[in-house]
Amino acid sequence: MSSDMQVFLLPDLGEGLTEAELVNWLVAVGDEIKVDQPIAEVETAKSMVEVPSPYAGTVAELHGQAGETLDVGKPLISIARAGAAPVAPEAPAAVEDAVSTGVTASPEVSAAAETYRTEEKAGSGNVLIGYGTPGGATAGRTRPRKGSVAVVGSVVQEAPLEPALAGTRIPGKLSAVISPLVRKMARDHGVSLDSIEGSGTSGLIMRKDVEAAIATPEAPAAPAPTRAPEAQPAVEGDVDSRTGLAVAARTAVRGVRKAVAANMAKSRSEIPEATVWVDVDATALLEMRAELKKRAPHDTPGLLAFIARFVTAGLKKYPALNTRFETVADGSQEIVGFDGVNLGFAAQTDRGLVVPSVRNAHQLSARELDAEIRRLTAVARDGRATPTELGSGTFTLNNYGVFGVDGSAAIINYPEVAMLGVGRIIDKPWVVNGELAVRKVTELTLAFDHRVCDGETAAGFLRYVADCIENPGGALADM
Q: Which residues are catalytic?
A: 450
DSSP for 98-153? Answer: HHHT-----HHHHHHHHHHHHHHHTS-S-SSTTS--TT-S-SS-SSPPTTSEEEET
Q: Give the E-state strand segments of 416-455 in sequence order.
A: 418-422, 426-432, 435-449
Cα gap 385→224, rounded to integer Å: 21
CA dihedral 428, 433, 434, 439 (to 10 degrees): -10
| Best CA proximity match to 367, nearest among 448, 317, 295, 279 | 295
CB burial of residue 155 (10 Å; 0-12, 13-18, 19+): exposed
DSSP for 138-201? Answer: -SS-SSPPTTSEEEETTEEEE--SS---TT---TT-SSB---HHHHHHHHHTT--GGG----SG
Cα gap 405→178, rounded to integer Å: 40
Residue 283 CA, distance from chain mean position: 35
Helix, strand or coil for residue 400? helix
Cα gap 430→438, rounded to integer Å: 6
| Best CA proximity match to 51, nearest among 1, 101, 124, 113 | 124
| CA 343 to each of CA 439, 446, 475: distance values in angstroms, whole numbers, following the listed order | 29, 15, 19
DSSP for 241-272? Answer: TTT-PBP-EEE---HHHHHHHHHHHHHHHH--
Cα gap 257→248, rounded to integer Å: 20
**Number of Cβ atoms within 10 Å of the Cβ of 330:** 5
How far the first Cα of the chain sits from its last, in Å, is 64
**Number of Cβ atoms within 10 Å of the Cβ of 42:** 22
